[in-house]
Structure 1
Amino acid sequence: MSQKLRSAKVSFKGQEAGLLEETTAGGTRFLYHNGWTETIACCLPVLRREHEWARGMHPFFQHLGAEGWLRERQARAGHVADQDDFGLLLRFGADCIGAVGVLPSVDMQFPPLEANEVPNPGRTVSGVQRKMLVVRDEGAHGYRPAGASGPAPYIAKFNSTDIATLVRNENLSLKWVRALLGEDEVINPTVAEVSEGNGTALVVKRFDRTEDGRKLRAEDFAQILCKPRGADFGGKYDASYEEVAGVIRKYSARPAIDLLRFYRRLVAFVLVSNADAHLKNFTLLETPEGLRLSPVYDVVNVGVYPQFSQQLALSIAGNFVSLESVNQRLLAAFGEHIGLKKAAISGVSRDLKKAAIKAAGILPNPDDESRDPFGMSYRESVRNACLRLLEE
């Protein structure tokens, strides 16, 4: 007996915009409702009323789902197969990052969730790292997990079981890159305790929610480029930085400005050894003037973790290159290729050099070498990259 095909209501900013359904051929189809006039995603233009994907879940919706730690938790607690994108969104996709939500189209009866298995029932947040949605806990002067409904204005990211310095690393990296690029260019992190036994986390304020809780459209570049996630979740690496620039050129309301912002970020990422700058770490965000490049939100120095790949996440100039092989010549050629003028490219190097000198105090103190091997490794990683790229 064939399995019944599933369907889901798709919401946009809380309003029902269309229907997502499985097809008999093993794919999915999204259909805008009659009378709906607003595009909900770059890859789902409203001028086309139907959008079909031949095999599995459409990538835009795939990438709404969790990866890694949270996905495992959701699958176990919700009694859903780990690879079942549709099933996971039916259970946990009502409130996703951005403005799109996924809800059952009929009154489905789900088995009860296992207690304490999932931090935010009915909600999900994408990414591999252990994370959850949180709210301020004024009484405890920290944060607590957000419930199934109501405000969830912050994201908390935790150390992994095998990397005890991850929170410190990302806090340092975000603060240093923020000093280089400017306060409006990078989210402002804080390190705080999350109650209910969750421990210390890096907490950041969400940019896809307004102060009064309204949802803003936000699409990562894996969604925009319709990259299937892949069984190993490697789809976010299946692209080039030239393709990232192409998305900005096509969809940004201010492409010339955002291309320069993107180039500045790429240089800063190399300086801080943030090699894992894949498609899901770039987002277009709704603003009053249209879609713009969002603030930087995910930066980790992998240079201090030799067990991690030291290769840039996406290809550049047709090749996947290691951090150490990136030089001024390669970056300048890339800048020209995406349409920047030589004067602008030189200006980026000059400005980042000045900013890096001013930001030196953010890095760990060199006098703590014997007591803080991680800090010294971090400092040396950044220092060596700055010498290589900014002193040529």
Structure 2
Amino acid sequence: MEDKICLGCLAENKKLRNNYCSKCIKELFNGKVPNPLNFDRVEFTKKRAELSPRMSISGVQDKISLAFEKKDLIPTAANGRYILKPITNGDGHIQNEKDIVANEHLSMLISKNIFKIPTAWCGLIRFSDGELAYITKRFDYDEETNLKYDQEDFAGIMGITPVTHGENYKYDACSYLDCAKMIKKYVASSVVSQEDFFKRIILNYLICNGDAHIKNFSLYSKVDSREYFLTPSYDLLNTRFHINEKYGDMAIDLLDDYTSTYEAYGYYTYDDFKTFAKYIDLPKIRFNKIMKFIEGSYLEVEDLIDKSFLSSEAKEFYKESYKDRMKRLRIK
């Protein structure tokens, strides 16, 4: 069955070309049918060591930049349009590391295909030995001019650095409400973007993403424009399956102060998100529509989980943790 599943969108399709459907070939790979990678994870590690001093990709997870050379995607130090992430090498801090690639892929698809949140195009791709890696298309370049967009994450927007706020600055310096205030300040279409941002925050809560910190949200302006927008979502993951998170439900606080409901239960509930929606001026009718959508979408989420390349244990964990978060939101 796996050879009939598109490695991009997980749709069952009998007309796959090198494991991808026509839509993913067009959108993810700009019409090119990519070959499997011509190197394995061991060679990936060597190439990453060679290229890392010259690469501009931030973050701590192992990754390299790729560019097309005919139909082959090859590692490059500059002008790469794709980012490749393999299974994380076990270091004692990450549990169930063999599922991390499929986890990120699934989480991104839930965001893009079910919640309809602007999300970076992504998929899975095979190393030369058949092992799967995660690949995502960069969204910060204009495809016609090849000029890079002006992009800034929320840490940069708010001037938050390790110097100003300590080593844990990505998590401790502000709340999601503070980020929403920056959207209102800098984004012209802020009414639409605030609803978009609300959906992103509640999705991260539902999928148990404890790493949705302020550097994983960004604004960008396109070429020859001074108007800023939220970038597509990126780096989505059910982190609870890989890290034993004992404290908190989210990467950063939802609000500047805890509500009475949070103080009573010790975790975020429907009332907290309702308060958040009120503070960002999300109309009550839109809030109710989003909550109703979440209630009706679980079967789609469950179906996508079942189609994913997660292990059986990971699939059950993802479903149960998602349902637990829905119950906290009074959604059954």
TM-score by length of 1: 0.62
Q: Partner of 2:60 in structure 1?
A: 128
Partner of 2:121, secondary structure, is coil
Q: For 1:159 and 1:229, how far apart are their aligned partners in 2? A: 28
Q: Which of 137, 148, 155 is the aligned partner of 1:205?
A: 137
Query: Residue by residue, what CA displacement relative to the aligned partner does 1:151-209 show, whole Å, maximum 9, x if unpaired?
Result: 31111122221222211110111111222321x611222111357x9964211111101
Q: Partner of 2:26 in structure 1?
A: none
Check if 1:290 corresponds to 2:227.
yes
> Conserved in 2, the CA contact under 8 Å of 1:180 and 1:356?
no
What is the CA distance between 1:118 and its match in structure 2? 3.1
Q: For 2:125 and 2:166, how far apart are their aligned partners in 1? A: 32
The residue correspondences of 1:97-136 to structure 2 (distance < 5 A) are 117-119=49-51, 122-136=54-68
Q: For 1:206 and 1:194, how far apart are their aligned partners in 2? A: 20
Q: Which of 160, 174, 194 is the aligned partner of 1:227?
A: 160
> Conserved in 2, the CA contact under 8 Å of 1:227 and 1:235?
yes
What is the CA distance between 1:352 and its match in structure 2? 2.7
1:187 corresponds to which letter in structure 2?
A
Alignment coverage as a number of residue pairs: 271
What is the CA distance between 1:137 and its match in structure 2? 5.1
Q: Partner of 2:320 in structure 1?
A: 380
Q: For 2:127 and 2:227, how far apart are their aligned partners in 1? A: 35
> Conserved in 2, the CA contact under 8 Å of 1:353 and 1:390?
no
Higher strand proportion, which one? 1
Check if 1:186 corresponds to 2:116.
no
Q: For 2:280 and 2:197, how far apart are their aligned partners in 1? A: 10
The residue correspondences of 1:295-314 to structure 2 (distance < 5 A) are 295-308=232-245, 311=248, 312-314=250-252
Q: Which of 267, 271, 277 is the aligned partner of 2:212?
A: 277
Q: 1:199 to 1:363 in 2, by over 3 A?
A: closer
Q: For 1:214 and 1:199, how far apart are their aligned partners in 2? A: 33
> Conserved in 1, the CA contact under 8 Å of 2:48 and 2:64?
no
2:49 corresponds to which letter in structure 1?
E
What is the CA distance between 1:271 and its match in structure 2? 1.0
Check if 1:154 corresponds to 2:89.
no
2:160 corresponds to which letter in structure 1?
K
Gaps of 5+ in 1: 1-113
Q: 1:133 to 1:229 in 2, by over 3 A?
A: farther
Query: Residue by residue, what CA displacement relative to the aligned partner does 1:350-379 show, whole Å, maximum 9, x if unpaired?
Result: 12333333333101379x99x721221122
Which stretch has the larger CA shift, 272-281 or 317-326? 317-326
Q: For 1:202 and 1:372, how far apart are their aligned partners in 2? A: 19
Q: For 2:247 and 2:174, how far apart are their aligned partners in 1? A: 17
Q: For 2:47 and 2:104, how far apart are their aligned partners in 1? A: 30
Partner of 2:276, secondary structure, is helix
Q: For 2:254 and 2:51, how far apart are their aligned partners in 1? A: 38
Gaps of 5+ in 2: 1-45, 91-96
1:362 corresponds to which letter in structure 2?
L
Q: For 2:239 and 2:71, how far apart are their aligned partners in 1? A: 36
Query: Residue by residue, what CA displacement relative to the aligned partner does 1:61-99 show, whole Å, maximum 9, x if unpaired?
Result: xxxxxxxxxxxxxxxxxxxxxxxxxxxxxxxxxxxxxxx
Q: For 2:187 and 2:237, how far apart are their aligned partners in 1? A: 26
TM-score by length of 2: 0.72
Q: 1:135 to 1:194 in 2, by over 3 A?
A: farther
> Conserved in 2, the CA contact under 8 Å of 1:180 and 1:268?
no
What is the CA distance between 1:229 and its match in structure 2? 2.9
2:151 corresponds to which letter in structure 1?
A
Partner of 2:104, secondary structure, is helix
Query: Residue by residue, what CA displacement relative to the aligned partner does 1:266-319 show, whole Å, maximum 9, x if unpaired?
Result: 111111111211100100021457100111111110232352355211112335
Partner of 2:178, secondary structure, is helix
Q: Partner of 1:95 in structure 2?
A: none
Q: Partner of 2:74 in structure 1?
A: 144
Check if 1:168 corresponds to 2:102.
yes
Query: Residue by residue, what CA displacement relative to the aligned partner does 1:226-251 show, whole Å, maximum 9, x if unpaired?
Result: 11135974211121111101110111
Partner of 2:306, secondary structure, is coil
Q: 1:116 to 1:188 in 2, by over 3 A?
A: closer
Q: For 1:270 and 1:223, how far apart are their aligned partners in 2? A: 24
2:290 corresponds to which letter in structure 1?
V
What is the CA distance between 1:347 and its match in structure 2? 1.4
Q: Partner of 2:175 in structure 1?
A: 240
2:75 corresponds to which letter in structure 1?
P
Cα RMSD (Å): 3.2
1:293 corresponds to which letter in structure 2?
L
Q: Which runs of 4 or more aligned residues in structure 1 lie more than 6 Å from their structure 2 counterparts after TM superposition?
A: 320-324
Q: For 1:207 and 1:115, how far apart are their aligned partners in 2? A: 23
Q: For 2:53 and 2:243, how far apart are their aligned partners in 1? A: 36
Q: 1:246 to 1:328 in 2, by over 3 A?
A: same
> Conserved in 1, the CA contact under 8 Å of 2:100 and 2:242?
no
Bigger relative contact order, structure 1 or 2, given CA contacts below 8 A and separation 6+?
2
Check if 1:345 corresponds to 2:287.
yes
What is the CA distance between 1:122 and its match in structure 2? 2.5
Check if 1:389 corresponds to 2:329.
yes
**The structure with more radius of gyration:** 1
